[in-house]
Structure 1
Amino acid sequence: MSVPAPARGRRGRRVPEGPRASFRQLLPFLLEHKRTLVVVAVLSILGAGATLVQPLLVGQVITRVQQSVPLGALVWLLVGFVVLSSLISGYQHYLLQRTGTAVVYSSRRRLIARILRLPISEFDARRTGDLVSRVGTDTTLLYAVLTQGLADAVGNALILVGAVIAMAFIDPLLLGLIVVVIGASLATVVVLSTRIRSASAAQQEKVGELSAGVERAVGSIRTIRAAGATARETDSVTETATAAYNAGVRIAKVSALIVPVAGIALQVSLLVVLGVGGFRVASGAIDVAALVTFVIFLFLLVQPLASAIGAITSVNQALGALGRIQEVLDLPLEDEGDLPGTSTAVADAAAIAFRDVRFRYPDHVVKAREAAAAEARSVLADVHLDSAEPPTETDREVLRGVSFIVPRGSRVALVGPSGAGKSTILSLVERFYDPTDGAILIDGIDARELPRDELRARFGYVEQDAPTLAGTIADNLRLASPAASDADCERVLRAVNLGDVLERNPLGVDAPVGEDGVMLSGGERQRLAIARALLAAPPVLLLDESTSSLDGVNEQRMREAIDAVATDRTLLVIAHRLSTVVDSDLIVVLQDGRVVGQGTHSELVASTPLYRDLAKHQLLV
């Protein structure tokens, strides 16, 4: 996990600097393609050999011309090596480009597989856009590692060593001067490149925040427009974009220092060779052919040195992004630690039983929510609106010793004011979280002893906000029932009074629903979610205020549909309206995370003041 560092976010808040990765953590991404990299290395060696031969052949050509000796096949041999080295370089370039693309693909595949299996707490603590940015933007920087000099380091190293050895044979004095100049420039590049890594990590962090901000704004565009908050949201997202720009400028400044350092090293080296070398030719220490050969070898040094400088820069940028990728890859998966599921259901046990369950959200989720609340209060302060105080330590325990039983085949309703813990109970049943203390029994088995996939297959869960996935009606219905036929889909749609949705589009169940179901009304999205649960036909239905967006007619239709499928099934319902409650076999009344009453409607009206008050107001809280 990242460690807070003195970076600044919007409105002067301190934000954590992105985690940094080491080169050792980069190796697994490269070693996945070790066969191709071996071929690239072999090609690099062959190309290096073909390149190193060329200055020697040029020297031989000059010597023969000076001595008036026929060139013979020497020129054609030189041309052949030039063509060979070019062909090898072209094919090597193709392999590197392809492998770089493959590295990005494999890293994205690993990230996607990891993200979609993270614990729900991580999604509660992180912004969606930031996770998307790690998959899209951060992984792209890994491409440069292979395409900017790292993978062909073997050939470049061979050229470098071969050129140095040849230059040492030609003139050790000139070589010593060159080593001093180039060594000083490389040391400068290494020092400067360390600043690129931290700047790159900061830039990727800001790009992640930018993606999250854009995703938030676009996802709530209607609300933002209706509230007249377009300008404020634009300023907020633009501020994050500016921070990303500033980090990019810092990278550009450091890179701008590296480029002239390399250029100055080459120019100074060339001037030294021409000046000192010319003097040595005049003095007879070396001849013209040797000086020309030395100069060509000097230029051969440029490619591996430029490649090394590019590799240092690109690797440091990639390591900044890899730190954010590795942070996600190092997170535990939701199903890590799940037991193999050898327990068997206890005969005549309750479908669901809560035994003195206590729960508080993990600290990182609480901190993330408090940070989001603080930012919301800051925005409200900008428009001179009051805001609630942040939660205190005692507010963090959501459930405080909750106990109740849901018998098989029964209908149990959870009621209570907002924030009482009703939706949290369904989250615990689905094992999105595990209780802090106490136990939840499913068919007499502790839920923690059941693999999550096996446990969730027993439930049909309809969430409070009834999310709709982009795609078609059929895509949404078949999410939990991929083998369902079109006829099955149409049947459950008509059961929840969505027949008109089928009839208004000639595509029927293949009609698109738009991003987040924007082409459906709120009530239609809710009924579609319920139809999805009904299609899966699980033994237990968990309905979180499933009729809250329905009018009276559709609510009655929905109740009839639920009644029709409730036979031989267990229902645990979070009630929003009195009409949903009165027919329940058991009603559990919650307040401040505690059970304050249990019984039928008539019993609770007589015994529980809170329920009596809620019933008086039709449970519309």
Structure 2
Amino acid sequence: MSTSTAERAPRSRSPFARRTPDDGPRARFSQLLPFLLEHKRALAVVIALSILGAGASLGQPLLVSQVITVVENGDPLGWIVWALIGLVVLSGLVNGFQHYLLQRTGTSVVLSARRQLVRRMLRLPIAEFDMRRTGDLVSRVGSDTTLLYAVITQGLVDAVGGVLVFVGALIAMALIDPVLLGLTVLVVAVAVVTVVLISGRLRAASRRQQEKVGDLAASVERVIGAIRTVRAANATDREIAAVEKDAQGAWTAGVAVAKISALVVPISFIALQVSFLVVLGVGGYRVASGAITVASLVSFILFLFMMIMPLGQAFGAINSVNQALGALGRIQEIVDLPSEGQDDRALAPLVALPAAGASTPGTPAIEFDDVVFAYDERSTRGASDDQDPVEEHIETGVLHGVSFVAERGRRTAIVGPSGAGKSTVLALIERFYDPQGGAVRFAGVDVRSLDRTELRSQIGYVEQDAPVLAGSIRQNLLLGSPTASDDDCVRVLQAVNLGEVLSRSADGLDAPVGEDGVMLSGGERQRLAIARALLAAPPVLLLDESTSSLDGVNEQMMREAIDAVAEDRTLVVIAHRLSTVVDSDRIVVLDHGRVVGIGTHSELVSTVTLYRDLAKHQLLV
């Protein structure tokens, strides 16, 4: 029996929903600093090299001026030429080593950002994954974090040395000729103000570009994840068109960023050209009038170029920082979300989990006491070509006052029509969600008072869709039992009739299963998921329609394997077939989120009409 979308937290945002640049938090420069300060030692070396390089650069025009003066006087050049060559070589070596450190530090900053993002992302509440697109999350880890690299390698830190050169050149120019300096500063000031005004638009455009890249990644992930269905439905061309639409959106957003950032290039070029022409014209006049010498004018022009160069670096830094802040806003949006267990202590004091053998068979293991639960669905309305979407929250009710007890050492089956809330019951036991009303108790303790890690260590959970992770058979089995031996792995595989899978490849347990277990059949994927739970041998087993994809022979072997490990264990089973139900010690019948009957098979057949109808149809609904 399949589970309707009402039983699962719906993914409300369409992969093609439009978003605005303001559709998330804006990052501040102060939020970028921790990523930089984490590598403060390397950055300190870079800054020291920048200072050394700046000194070497600033010394060159002074020596050039000395060379001109010496040549005019007819004196031998001597040490001045060698000093000039030495400064040029030193400047080149410093710049090369500085470039290496910047590249390495930039890569380290990206690594730090990715670590922080992944650590938080994989600890987010399950509800966040229900309401977000996988491709967009992947894009934040890959594309968005990469923009932090440019901050280090293309601007911010490199601009520190540029500032020193700029200030040094400014001072030297003031000493040479304050009049020429005043005219130069006037031209440069206009360029700086223009760039600052542009930078605000660049940050918003950059964020929008990253959003569109996320949409594209989500669209590609969506199609690739269902490629067989797409091919079988002859929908390849339509899906290509849909992905190309998102690609076009990303291109359009990228062009918008390019247009804004491209304005900086001509501004820098114009500032340099105008400054040069002003200095050349006015400076030539002042040389002719005897106010300054030719050597001073040449030196001033060289300093002018040195001043304009770091100015271009500063403009590039503004571009890089604003683009990075646009991406950092998307990173911080995830980092700032509360982790799954972050608010546990606010719900109730954490208590020690009761020992697995502390209760005797027949005592309550899991209790649902008047449980009320509704999924918080984020709905996007008003998304059209000329209207921005408005996000609102809608509560989708699933469980309404559900009460029942699953006893220790007993098998409890949960049955009901599609959409009754069966899978939600298991999700609440696992604390993927917490109820809005009532309580779920584990060994008599409200699960909201239990540490999630400790709670889940006592529970084996086989999901309805039997997910298999890309990798090997061994990696899948050891997911919940990392210390299990090869013999244990082989034993559980044989118990679920998967021994023949090992003989297909010479790799044995290391045989690959493919993306999403594509190299296994549906039944084999389901049996592998059950083997993974059996290997951990927890006190409680939650089985969500675990035999739905099995034929009669494999189902019988599966039941025998489960029965073998079920002794003195609590089983809560969402039943798919009548054979699973009749063997259960207690059956809970759900309908539209309400309990309509509890009892044994024989009791329910005679007292509950819905159960009688389900049993009549072998529960295959």
Q: TM-score, normalised by structure 1?
A: 0.93
**Quick check: 1:357–1:439 contact (8 Å CA) kept in 2?**
yes
Report the identity percentage: 67
CA distance in 2, matches of 1:344, 1:325: 39
1:586, 1:59 → 2: CA distance? 98
Match of 1:118 in 2: 124
Deviations 1:191-228 (A, max 9, x none): 11221111110010011111111111001000111112
Partner of 2:42 in structure 1?
36
Match of 1:187 in 2: 193
**Match of residue 160, structure 1, among 157, 160, 166:** 166
Q: Deviations over 1:322-377 (max 9, x none)?
A: 00001111011112133543364675541101100000112xxx125x779x99xx
Mapped to 1, the partners of 2:52 and 2:511 lie a distance apart of: 58
Q: Does 1:332 align with 2:332?
A: no
Taking structure 1 as reference, are residues 586 and 157 closer, same or farther at Cα in structure 2, changes over 3 Å only? same
Query: Are 2:539 and 2:570, in contact at CA under 8 Å, matched by a contact in 1?
Result: yes
CA RMSD of aligned residues (A): 2.0
Q: Distance in 1 between matches of 2:594 and 2:73?
A: 104
Residue aligning to 1:379: none
Q: How far did 1:53 drift? A: 1.1
Distance 1:243 1:555, change over 3 A: same
The aligned runs of 1:37-186 (5 Å cut-off) are 37-186=43-192
C-alpha separation in 2, matches of 1:85 and 1:474: 55
Q: Which residue of 2 aligns with 1:358?
A: 372
Q: Report deviation, 1:258.
A: 1.4
- What is the identity, as a one-letter code, of the residue corresponding to 2:287? V
User: Which residues of 2 match residues 583-594 of structure 1 at below 5 A?
Assistant: 583-594=583-594
Q: Name the SS of the counterpart of 1:69 in structure 2.
A: coil
Q: Which residue matches 2:486?
A: 486
Native 8 Å contact 2:21 2:208 kept in 1: no
Larger mean Cα displacement after TM superposition, 510-519 or 13-22: 13-22
Q: Secondary structure at the match of 1:351?
A: strand
1:321 aligns with 2:332: no
Aligned residue for 2:378, secondary structure, equals: helix
- Structure 1 residues 362-441: aligned runs within 5 Å: 362=376, 366-367=377-378, 396-441=396-441
Q: Deviations over 1:156-180 (max 9, x none)?
A: 1111111111111111111000001
Alignment of 1:209-224 (within 5 A): 209-224=215-230
Q: Which residue of 1 aligns with 2:601?
A: 601
What does 1:192-591 correspond to in 2, within 5 Å? 192-338=198-344, 339-342=349-352, 344=354, 347-348=359-360, 349-362=363-376, 366-367=377-378, 396-591=396-591
CA contact (8 A) 2:21 2:207 kept: no
* 8 Å Cα contact 2:597/2:604 also seen in 1: yes
Deviation at 1:64, TM superposition (A): 1.0
Gaps of 5+ in 2: 1-13, 385-391
Question: Could you tell me how far apart the structure 2 residues matched to 1:503 and 1:285 are?
Answer: 94
The question of whether the paired residues in 2 share the 8 Å contact of 1:132 and 1:211 is answered with yes
1:379-399 CA-to-partner distances (Å, cap 9, x unmatched) read xxxxxxxxxxxx996x81110
C-alpha distance in 2, partners of 1:13/1:60?
61
Q: Distance in 2 between matches of 1:466 and 1:194?
A: 48
Partner-residue secondary structure (3-state), 2:247: helix
Q: Is the 8 A contact 1:9 1:15 kept in 2?
A: no
Describe the shift of the 1:70–1:12 C-alpha distance in structure 2 as closer, same or farther (beyond 3 A). closer
Aligned-pair CA distance for 1:18:
4.4
Deviation at 1:9, TM superposition (A): 8.7
Higher relative contact order (CA 8 A, sep 6+): 2
2:388 maps to none
TM-score, normalised to structure 2, is: 0.93
- Distance in 1 between residues matched to 2:336 and 2:449, nearest whole Å: 25
User: Does the 8 Å contact 2:353/2:455 carry over to 1?
Assistant: no
CA–CA distance in structure 2, aligned partners of residues 567 and 409 of structure 1: 7
Q: How many residues are aligned here?
A: 593
Q: Aligned partners of 1:367, 1:19: CA distance in 2, in Å?
A: 17
